[in-house]
Structure 1
Amino acid sequence: MGTCIICGTPVDGRICDSHQEDVVFEFRGNDPNQLVPNRFYGGTVDGYADFGLFVDLSSNVTGLLHRSELDQRLESLDLEPGDSVYVQVKNVRDNGDVDLAWSIRQSDRDFRGALVQDGTEELDADESDQDDDDGGPGPVSHTPTSTSDRDGSRETEDDSGNGRSGTEQPKTDGSSGSTDTGGATAASESADAADDSTDAPVDDTTDSTDAATDDSTGSAPAHSTPDTDSEEPESGSEPDGDLERVEIGSLADRVGQQVRIEGEVVGARQTGGPTVFELRDETGVVDCAAFIEAGVRAYPSVEVGDVVRLDGEIERRRNEIQVETEALAALEGEEAETVRQRLSDALTAEARPESVDVLAEHDAIDAMADDLLDIAEAIRRSVLESRPVVVRHAATADGYVAGSAIERAVLPLIREEHAASDAQYHYFTRRPLDEPVYDMDAATKDATRMLQDRDRHDEKLPLVLLLGTGSTVESADGLNLLGIYGAERAVVDAAAADPEITESVETVANPELAGVDAAELSTGALAATLGATVNGDVREDLAHLPAVSYWEDTPDAYVDLAAETGFDDERVTELREAIALEAFYQSYQDKRELITDILFGEDDGDLAGHISGQFREKLGTEIDTARANVESRDPDGVAFTVLDADAYAHRYDFPPTSLLADELHRREREEAPVTLVYGTDELFVRATRDLDVRDVAAAVADEVTDAGVTAVGVREGRIEFLSGRREAVVDAVVDAIAGQIA
């Protein structure tokens, strides 16, 4: 019976069931049936085939990573035979074939631990394997300086509860020894390993006379295995002496040197060996590995958000700069405030754009300039603070265009800020909304995910950016749920807004709240402007998006802007229709690569044109059927086009009811200014005149008191009711609208 290397739970082996997917295994077996499905394994690329990639998991076991499992096109992979990769075993077939899935974690530091699977036995990784930088994937490897080797004495507690406890073995040569920067991973540390390997840390009784001193590089003292019998083996030493602070951005030029850095802890994860703190100052972010005992949390009182001072040696591991922590202390009072102010000043200077990057002149955008700058700063600051950005947008063509504009702007900033190859998947998420409002269902999903990421991966709470939704009081409950946990919220919406929503978010960019007419502004155009403001380098990439977001009456300025970048009216229409069709299918998925190919790809295979053709065929068939079965009404001289979508449209197929109502209204509005399309328990209102849907719903609720009538989606003219009272509700809606217009 052993204990889980992550949580310490007693297990048969080295990892519990709940943390199976948090570690990566090195497979040393010779039979594919020894592999454990759903586990992550390190491997090496063996070669390509038309249908995927072959990956060697050991010298005798090879698996297939099918192209359908990749997060990008097979031909775009920058991998050569022999390159290290991480994969997940999906299935081992009866004939011994191994099906693999791609892991978005493609860096040592992204896993919380590493183990060896030798046949069916789970073992700590061997030191000799982890010290070999030229080998396959393995855990992060560090040998930080022991607390006892730094100061000449351990802490002994005095009567006041402060001071130092314990004693250390004196150095036999009276000098600081040097450290092998390719030292053994903490997961394999043990007294026996220390005796058997010259590279392993020595214990407290080991003679350090062979440790050389390198005064020119400031090498770290010789390392000692912590005394596992001490009262507090996980405690570490604190920085002392007069080392001068250096900036994290300069560490690449200081490999091998002892340095002092100060900053904020933006991440902390426990591996099977060291504890890895992600530290940020005003110039960058770096991983700092602190080792006390294999799998034991170093500096347990230090948490994400703390400001710390850290001494350590700079090393380069697999071409990434890391700090081998020798001493660390949380700062308090004036010292902490000085560091926080330095970070804040630097972040503001770097994150705040000088002005809004206007794609085309628009009075409404000018009126929202300050709000857009505030949101752009919040996005850029989140990237710099290693805070995830979660974008929630409507599952419509306009919503997808808006979300893609922000995605296009933010991903390059994340790649620039973070060395990890999969950082863009950790720090940016785009999630379409099935409903027209940000309700409790969506907020609960987001809150659950962000709390899991905080507790399991020590991630900061995200910035939640809502596009084309969230600006009315129907979203207040969901937004307030996020606010209870302290998640930052911002809204960008060109449609209807309620002043009360400003109490539920930090910032809102909405023309109605800015006191201007938003009739000619789409959320896509607004978000594209925000994207260009966030990252001016992608301005040209975003220039055609505003035109794509309009179904009709596109402002001339946006038509001209698209044409200047090579997108004529026909091409813009194809993009819009293709996005609208794909927005319907798996509406809860971001479809990042597919949407990117449609909106930004060179499209040699005419992807957008192909999907646009399907859009026209499906919508045309549905509209022809609908128009043949509409009902005409004219109470008080107001002409209505009314369609029972349950009876005369295909349920659960394209187009969705809201899009069907839009298109039907465009075709019928010359004859009838109001279009109603209703289903089992919902009704969509479209009109050529301004209507207050809330007032309509309130009037109907007074008329049909037992129908549960409510206006759910004000921005898209949606009213819900109980299905058993459908006919009475439809009649009452017609009367209420006629009363408003007549």
Structure 2
Amino acid sequence: MADCIICGTSSDGPICDTHQEDVVFEFEGNQPNQLTEGRFYRGSVDGYAEFGVFIDLNEHVTGLLHRSKLDRRLESLDWDVGDTVYVQVTNVRDNGDIDLGWSIRQSDREFRGTLIDAPDGDRLAETETESESGSGPEPGSGPEASAEPETEADSEPEPEPETGTEADTGMERAEADTGPAAETDSEREPVPDSGSDTETETEPGSGSETESATESESTSTPTDEEPPERVNVEGLRERVGETVRLEGEIVSVRQTSGPTVFELRDETAVADCAAFEEAGVRAYPEVEVGDVVRLDGEIRVRRDEIQVETETLAVLEGDELAAVTDRMDEALRSASDPGEVEPVADDPAIEALAEGVQAAATAIRRAIKESRPIVVRHSADTDGYVAGAAIERAVLPLVREEHAGTDAVYHYFDRRPLEGTVYDLDDATKDVTRMLDDQERHDEKLPLFVFAGAGGTRDSLDGLELLGIYGSERLVIDGLPVEKEVTETVETSLGPEDGEARTATTLAATVAAGVNDAVREDLRPLPAISYWDDVPEAYAEAAEDAGLDADAVRDLREAVALEAYYQSYEDKRELIIDLLFDRVTGLAEQVAEQFRTKLEAELETATANLDRREVGGVEFAVLDTDAYTHRFDFPPTRLLLDELHRREIAAEGDGPTVTIGLAMDELHLRSTTDVGVREVAEAVRERVPEGGVDTKGTREGTVEFLSGEREAVLEATMDVVAERLSATSEA
């Protein structure tokens, strides 16, 4: 038994259970399950993700400090990679993931001591320090015994000295062992091993042959030796322990409290290369992101990840630069080309878009190979989430193959739901601010922005143009035809031809199959989930082949819709994976049941309070959404009106059916016949010029206006819609 270092009570170790949280621990284990929950640990910042900070507790174990556990906004943290921080281990999961908590104490002096948490038990940090520095001379020993005691390494046979160095080395060791008694270990100059290239001082006139040999060895340069063999990054794991040469582009630079870490990409993959000048000092400051370099170094394994310990690093110029660049460009073109992409189901409308599908898949594959982050922006509904998840499913395995870091899937891929289908200036400003911050802090390249089920109309031009000003590439994938103004603005766009409407998921799933054909079977059932009614037969069959009957598809559709609503700005990556791909038993059924319960309750109230009007021979069903819905609870207005309109169609029969949701300053229009929401808004603006009428989202059928002109705008809208439906009927 021992005594607690704080209260003195008997304990199994240096600290009692009562005072476990009063001290900070240094972790010496190599497995997450060796940690003790509730303890505070000293760690270092490994990197940032949108959802939190990765903290290294040592070189073997890393945990996540989630943004929800911080006492401030993640963006306001001034931690840099490599900074020492203090965190609490709150949970160690069965799969090895470590949940960390925030510590208000962020320095050693705020704790009441430091202990070592080792697999064989806790011990005082001072004990380790003493053992490392030596225990001093034994009682009764003479001055000659003041040197450090022999270690295990010292007791091993010494390596065979090279020719010409044995005399020097032996002489110097003899001098060190038999020097004056007043000379201590700390006063002696370090003695190089026989294989060292450190220059050795000798007395003038001493053995000239030995001196010449030593000087010759110490002044030799790499140019006198055979250069290391050039290898590709993808083959590094088979060459651990060897010194090799890499040639490629620097895609990022991270300065830690120790070395500088360069990410080098060649024609095959990306590798971390650590270069050390001195602690926290930038090595090779002349090397920048985008430079093409030649790097020699030794391959090592750190935390089961390959890392190259850099020995020399040089920026290439002239013919050498051209040769490497040409080689990488050719490999990049070849690796980015998906070839001919087969649709995930037999659909002539998608087959007709083969060229556009190939261009979209190429853009995504190229971004992965160029180590550019990919940001998917999608609507926060079932179609948007499933479309985004399809692209995510294809990209993540390729990112893992490309980058050695286990957290690369969070650094190089992000899904960010939008409130609707419009990408406005507010959204674009947030994205630009974030990407410029990442570029400044982490030397990240500008992302490829992929818009799935969003950004396809001119309503998004302001946001898309802002991204373009900063040089970000933009790819739009939409289930409805992409408007000409957008096609002319972005680098790549993909949408069906007029009259061939599909869901965004239908196109996104085929694009994702082109990005990574290995996940095709995972993608095939996704389009069926994105249709609320009239699922095309080919996609229904594809879902059934994957083991999803109509009821299972409906459950998934409704479950995603419910989860998409809550915290709509979050990607919910793991939850969506559990629903769509891992299909956790009972999850979809349980969430879908909640969906139906909440939706039916709102529909019952809405149906009872419909204001039915007849204008120009057209029946309108008007719902005051401010008065008869819970606007800040599920379901959202858009989904409620969609379902209400479907039920109105079923009740009314074959005639034109129009449903209007009327809020304080916006109107939602649903019609069995396309009346052209933008054209309706323009006509209403002419009739109510003081109403401030404008379109907010033509795909969602939303018209904005000033609340003071609410009734005037409603009446004008019904008049315009009735006239357009009448004209359509006569035609």
Q: Shorter-normalised TM-score: what interval?
A: 0.7 to 0.9
8 Å CA contact 1:70–1:101 kept in 2: the answer is no
Instruction: Give the Cα–Cα distance (whole angstroms) in 2 for the partners of residues 46 and 252 of structure 1.
Output: 24
Coordinate RMSD, CA, aligned: 4.3
Cα shift at 1:380? 1.7
Aligned to 2:268: 283
CA–CA separation in structure 1 for the residues paired with 2:665 and 2:597: 28
1:645 is aligned to 625
1:388-412: CA deviations, max 9, x gaps? 1111100011111101111111111
5+ unaligned residues in a row in structure 2: which ranges?
Answer: 1-18, 44-50, 54-58, 72-85, 98-105, 117-162, 170-185, 203-216, 727-731
| Cα distance in 1 between the residues matched to 2:403 and 2:356 | 28
Is the Cα–Cα contact under 8 Å of residues 41 and 89 in structure 2 kept in the other structure?
A: no
Q: Give the Cα separation in 1 of the matches to 2:41 and 2:714.
A: 67
Q: Verify the 8 A CA contact 2:378 2:421 in the aligned structure 1.
A: no
Q: Kindly indicate whether the alpha-carbon contact (under 8 Å) linking 2:259 and 2:282 is maintained by their aligned counterparts in 1.
A: yes
Say whether the 8 Å CA contact 2:255–2:261 is kept in structure 1: yes
**Amino acid of the residue matched to residue 409 of structure 2?**
Q
Q: For 2:616, what is the secondary structure of its paired residue? A: helix
Structure 1 residues 53 and 45: alpha-carbon distance in aligned structure 2, compared to 1, 3 A threshold: farther
| Matching of residues 649-668 of structure 1 within 5 Å | 649-668=629-648
Partner of 2:412: 427
Pairing partner for 1:720 from 681, 684, 704: 704
Aligned-pair distance for 1:315? 2.9
Q: Distance in 2 between matches of 1:238 and 1:457?
A: 34
Q: How many residues align?
A: 593
Instruction: Tell me which residue corresponds to 1:300.
Output: 285
Alpha-carbon distance between aligned partners in 2 of 1:99 and 1:262, rounded to the nearest angstrom: 41
Deviation of 1:338 (Å) = 2.3
Alignment of 1:131-280 (within 5 A): 244-280=229-265
Q: Which is greater in Rg?
A: 2
**Equivalent residues in 2 for 1:673-712 (5 A)?**
673-712=657-696
1:628 paired to 2:608: yes
Structure 2: how far apart are the matches of 1:239 and 1:478?
Answer: 57
Distance 1:686 1:417 in 2: 46
| Structure-1 separation of matches of 2:449 and 2:296 | 35
The CA distance in 2 between the partners of 1:668 and 1:596, in whole Å, is 35
2:562 to 563, 570, 581: 581
- Whole-angstrom CA distance in 1 between matches of 2:443 and 2:328: 20
CA offsets, 1:489-545, max 9 Å, x none?
101001242111123211001113xxx5323x1111111111122111111112211
Task: Report the CA distance shift for 1:194/1:556 in structure 2 as closer, same or farther (over 3 A).
Answer: farther
1:599 is the counterpart of 2:583: no
In 2, distance between residues paired with 1:484 and 1:34? 51
CA contact (8 A) 2:21 2:39 kept: no
Structure-1 separation of matches of 2:239 and 2:609: 76
Q: Is the 8 A contact 1:91 1:99 kept in 2?
A: no
Report deviation, 1:270.
0.9
Q: Which residue of 1 aligns with 2:147?
A: none
Structure 1 residue 563 and structure 2 residue 544: aligned? yes
- Contact 1:364–1:517 (Cα < 8 Å) also in 2: no
- The superposition leaves residues 394-435 of structure 1 with CA deviations (integer Å, 9 ceiling, x where unpaired) of 001111110111111111112222222221111111111013
Work out the CA distance in 2 between the residues paired with 1:498 and 1:474.
10
| Contact 1:618–1:654 (Cα < 8 Å) also in 2 | yes
Distance 1:223 1:581 in 2: 71
3-state secondary structure, aligned to 1:634: strand
- Over 3 Å counting, the alpha-carbon distance change for 1:34 and 1:239 in structure 2 is farther
Deviations 1:571-604 (A, max 9, x none): 1011101111111111111111111111122332
CA distance in 2, matches of 1:626, 1:253: 66
- 1:256 Cα offset (Å): 3.5
Q: How far apart, CA to CA, are the structure 2 residues paired with 1:693 and 1:584?
A: 25
Q: Distance in 2 between matches of 1:99 and 1:571?
A: 39
Contact 2:482/2:494 (8 A) holds in 1: no
- The alignment's TM-score, normalised by the length of structure 2, stands at 0.73
**Aligned residue among 503, 508, 513 for 1:532:** 513
- Give 1:348 shift: 1.8
Aligned-pair CA distance for 1:478: 0.8
Question: Is 2:724 the partner of 1:740?
Answer: yes
Match of 2:102 in 1: none
Query: Which residue type is aligned with residue 265 of structure 1?
Result: I
Q: Report the CA distance between 1:294 and its aligned residue.
A: 2.1
Query: Using the alignment, how far apart are the partners of 2:623 and 2:517 within structure 1?
Result: 46
Give SS of 2:306's match: strand
CA spacing shift, 1:99–1:319, aligned 2, 3 Å: closer
Is contact 1:86–1:102 with CA below 8 Å preserved after alignment?
no
Q: Is the 8 A contact 1:70 1:102 kept in 2?
A: no
Q: Supply the AA of the counterpart residue of 1:85.
A: T
Whichever residue aligns with residue 518 of structure 1, its letter is E
What SS does the corresponding residue of 1:401 show, helix, strand or coil? helix
Counterpart of 1:32, as a letter, is E
Q: Tell me the CA shift for residue 203 of structure 1.
A: 11
Distance 1:83 1:315 in 2: 14
Greater helix content: 2
Question: Are the equivalent residues in 2 in contact too, given 1:42–1:84 (CA < 8 A)?
Answer: no
Among candidates 491, 495, 510, match of residue 495 of structure 2: 510
For residue 468 of structure 1, report the CA deviation from its aligned partner.
0.3
2:453 counterpart residue number = 468
Q: What does 1:475-490 align with in structure 2 at a 5 Å threshold?
A: 475-490=460-475
SS of aligned partner of 2:466: helix
Normalising by structure 1, we get a TM-score of 0.72
Does the aligned pair in 2 maintain the 1:172–1:207 contact within 8 Å?
Answer: no
The gaps in structure 1 that reach 5 residues or longer are: 1-29, 62-68, 72-81, 108-115, 127-170, 178-191, 209-220, 225-235
TM-superposed CA distance for 1:54, in Å, is: 2.7
Separation in 2, partners of 1:696, 1:680: 19
